[in-house]
A and B are shown apart, each in its own frame.
Chain A
Amino acid sequence: MSIVIPPPPDFSSHEEEVPEFNPGASSRTWYQYLLILAALVFAAVSVGFVGTIIWNSAPEWAHHTGTLLGGNGWQSPAGPFGGLAMIVGTLETSVIALVIAVVIGLGASISIVFLIPRRFRNIVATFVELLAAVPSVVYGLWGFLVLAPWMLKTVIPWLDSWPFAKELFGSVGQQDGQSLLLASVVLGVMILPTFVAISREVIAVVPNDLIEASLSLGATRWQVIREVVLPTAKIGLFGATFLALARATGETVAVALIAGGVANVQFHLLYPGTSIAAWIATEFGEAQGNEVAALMALGVLLMLVNFGLSLISRWLVSRQRKVLAVV
C-alpha cells in the first residue's frame, strides 16, 4: 500500500500537579494548638466512654462471668443475673431483622440505581432518609399500640387456624401481642435505611464499563445485575450488611416496647423476649448495687459486638474501594 503515514496527532492533555496542603508542616500557631486540644478532648471522651462502662462492670465480670454469659433468669435485686436470654434475644431479633432488611434493601437499592430516572432519585433518597429519621421510640410506639394489638386480633388467630399451628408455634396469644417476631420485623424496617444508604452507594460505583460489556454480550438486565453488578459489589454489600447488623444489635427502645420484656431464653418467635439493649433500658431505673454492675456488663457485651461489627463493616467497605480501584 502506498499510503503516506502521517504522525499521529497529539491529543494528550497535560494534567496539572496539585501540591499537597499541609498546615502541620509550617510552624504551629495557637490555632493549631486549639485543634490538637479539641482532638485530645475528643480522644479523652471516647476513652472515658469505653473505660467508664468497663470499669463499672468489672465487679460483675470478676465474680459471675459464667452466669452473665450462660445463665438463664434474672433475679432482681440480689441476683444471680443470667444474660443468656438477652444474648439469644439479641441474636434472634437482629438476625431476622437483618434478613428482612437485606432482602428488601437489596431490591430497593437496585431499583434506586438502575430503575429510577435520575431526576426522581433525589426524592426517593429523601424518602429513605426520612425513614431513617423517624425516632426509634415512634417505631416502638407504633409496634406497641398498633401492630401488637393487630397481631393479637388478626394475625395470631389466623396462624392458629393453620393445621399443625400448635406444633409449629406453640400456643400463642399471651401478653398484648408483643413478641420477638414482631420486634424483629419492626427492627428490620428500622435498619433498612442504614443498609440501603450504603448498598446503593456500593452498587452505584460498579464501573459502567462492566455493565456495558455484559450488555454487549447479550446479557439481560437482570443478568447484568446478578452476574456482574452484585458479584463486583459483593464485599461492599457485606460491609453494608455488617453495619445494619451493628445497628440492629444496638436498637433499644423499640425492642423494649415491642418484644415484651421477658428474660427467658425463647426460641418460639411468637413469644415475648428481650434483647441486651432493651433489657438495660427497662431494668436500669430500678437497679441497685450489683444489678447496676450486671447491666453495665451487658453493656460491655453490647459494645464489643457493636464495635466489632462496625470495624468489620468499615474494613469491608474500604476493601471494596480497593477492589474497584483495580478494575
Chain B
Amino acid sequence: MDQEFMAQVETKVATPSETLERGAAAMQLKNVAVSFHGRTAVRDCTFDVTKNRVTSLIGPSGSGKTTLLRALNRLHDLTPGAKVSGQILLEGTDIYRGDITVTELRTRVGMVFQRPNPFPTMSIYENAVSGLRFNGVKKKSILDEAAETSLKSAALWDSVQGRLKVAASNLSGGEQQRLCIARALAMDPEVLLMDEPTSALDPIATLKIEDLMTELKKRVTVVIVTHNMQQAARISDDCAFLLMGEDRAGELIEFDTTEKIFNNPIDPRTLDYTLGRFG
C-alpha cells in the first residue's frame, strides 16, 4: 500500500538530480496540501528550500503558487475553511505543531506581497521598524539602527535618508516595494517569502529588486513566486513547477535546479510551460 503510493509519487514528481551537492535545508515540505472548504487547491508538494538560495515557484494562474507560499508562514490560519495538511519543517521543526507561536514563526519567515503595501498611516521610518514595534522593541537606539540596516539592505537608504518622517505613500511603487522588503528584513528573518513582488512594478524597478535579491540571499533564504520566466531563470537557483491536475487542483510537477528545469526538464509539460507553449 505504502509502496504503491510511493511508486505513484515517484512517477508523478520528478526528483531533483542526485548529483547536485545541496546545502542544508531551511524549510522542508513533505506532501503539503492546502484545501479550502474541502476543495483541494494544491497538493503533493514535497521539496526542500535550501539555505541561502533563491527558490522560485512557477506555474500557470490558479496552480496554487500563492496558496502554497502562504502556507509557509501560516497565513491561512485566519482564512475560514482553509486546511493545510502534510508537513512543513522550519529548521527541522513542524511549523504547524501545537506549541509553535505563530507570531514568532512569522518573524522568522517574513513575507513580501504582490502589491506594495506599506502601512499608509505610518512614515517611512515607522514602516521600516513596524515589525520591531509589533514585537515589543521600543528602545530608540535599536530601532534607529535596525531601520538604517534594513533600509540599506533594501537599497533604499540613500534615497530616503533625508525624509524618514515622510508618509510612506509618497514613495514610488518600486520604492514602496523595497520599503516592504526592508520592513520584512528588519526582523532578520531566516526565510523571506515573496509573492510576485515585481508584478506591479515597471521594468527598472523590477530590475532593482531582482538585483537586490541576488544580494539578499547571502543572508536570507528566498522563496519567490513569479509569472515571469525570465525572472525565474535569472534570479532563482532552484525552481518548483506547479500545474493543475484534472480536478483543477494544483500539484507539484517538477522540482530541480533552475538550470535543469529550464534546459532539460524531465517532464515534457515543464518544457511546454517554460517555452510558453501553454498557460
Question: A residues near B, CB below 8 A?
Answer: 1-9, 11, 117-118, 207, 209-210, 212-220, 223, 227-228, 231-232, 234, 323, 326-327
B55-95 contact mask (Cβ, 8 Å, vs A): 1 or 0: 00000010000000000010100101000000000000000
With most chain A CB atoms within 10 A of its CB, the pick from B120, B183, B234, B276 is: B120
* Residues of chain B within 8 A of A5, CB atoms compared: 229-230, 233-234
B258 at the interface (CB under 8 A from A): yes
* Residues of chain A within 8 A of B262, CB atoms compared: 3-4, 6
Which one of A1, A215, A217 contacts B78 once the chains associate, using CB atoms below 8 Å?
A: A215
Which one of B78, B121, B134 contacts A218 once the chains associate, using CB atoms below 8 Å?
A: B134
Once bound together, how far apart are the Cα atoms of A118 and B106, in whole Å? 26
Query: What total of chain B residues lie within 8 Å of the partner, measured CB to CB?
Result: 42
Once bound together, how far apart are the Cα atoms of A217 and B134, in whole Å? 7
Given the interface pairs A3-B263, A5-B230, A209-B117, the reply to whether A217 lies near B110 with Cβ below 8 Å is: yes
Once bound together, how far apart are the Cα atoms of A310 and B77, in whole Å? 40
Q: Please state if A1 and B115 are interface contacts (CB–CB under 8 Å).
A: no
* Residues of chain A within 8 A of B187, CB atoms compared: 217-218
B16 at the interface (CB under 8 A from A): no
B123 at the interface (CB under 8 A from A): no
Once bound together, how far apart are the Cα atoms of A323 and B258, in whole Å? 42
Which one of B107, B229, B230, B276 contacts A217 once the chains associate, using CB atoms below 8 Å?
A: B107
Q: Please state if B130 and A217 are interface contacts (CB–CB under 8 Å).
A: yes
Once bound together, how far apart are the Cα atoms of A191 and B187, in whole Å? 44
Q: Please state if A219 and B103 are interface contacts (CB–CB under 8 Å).
A: yes
Given the interface pairs A212-B113, A217-B184, A218-B135, the reply to whether A6 lies near B229 with Cβ below 8 Å is: yes
Q: Please state if B103 and A218 are interface contacts (CB–CB under 8 Å).
A: yes
Cβ-closest 3 pairs across A and B: A217-B131, A216-B111, A218-B107
B252-265 contact mask (Cβ, 8 Å, vs A): 1 or 0: 00000011001100
Which one of B75, B120, B133, B258 contacts A216 once the chains associate, using CB atoms below 8 Å?
A: B75
Which one of B107, B119, B263, B276 contacts A213 once the chains associate, using CB atoms below 8 Å?
A: B119
Once bound together, how far apart are the Cα atoms of A218 and B279, in whole Å? 35
Q: Please state if B120 and A218 are interface contacts (CB–CB under 8 Å).
A: no
Q: Please state if A3 and B258 are interface contacts (CB–CB under 8 Å).
A: yes
B244 at the interface (CB under 8 A from A): no
Q: Please state if A232 and B134 are interface contacts (CB–CB under 8 Å).
A: no
B180 at the interface (CB under 8 A from A): yes
Once bound together, how far apart are the Cα atoms of A323 and B78, in whole Å? 26
* Residues of chain B within 8 A of A219, CB atoms compared: 103, 134
Once bound together, how far apart are the Cα atoms of A228 and B131, in whole Å? 12
The smallest C-beta distance from B74 to any residue of chain A, in angstroms, reads: 9
Q: Closest chain B residue to A211 by CB distance?
A: B78
B275 at the interface (CB under 8 A from A): yes
With most chain B CB atoms within 10 A of its CB, the pick from A214, A217, A220, A326 is: A217
Q: Please state if B120 and A8 are interface contacts (CB–CB under 8 Å).
A: no
B31 at the interface (CB under 8 A from A): no
Q: What are 14 residue pairs bridging A and B, where the CB atoms are less than 8 Å apart in the complex?
A: A1-B233, A3-B262, A6-B274, A8-B227, A8-B230, A9-B229, A209-B115, A213-B183, A214-B134, A216-B106, A216-B111, A217-B130, A227-B130, A231-B122
B159 at the interface (CB under 8 A from A): no
* Residues of chain A within 8 A of B180, CB atoms compared: 213
Once bound together, how far apart are the Cα atoms of A232 and B187, in whole Å? 23
Q: Please state if A11 and B227 are interface contacts (CB–CB under 8 Å).
A: yes
Once bound together, how far apart are the Cα atoms of A216 and B131, in whole Å? 9
B169 at the interface (CB under 8 A from A): yes
B228 at the interface (CB under 8 A from A): yes
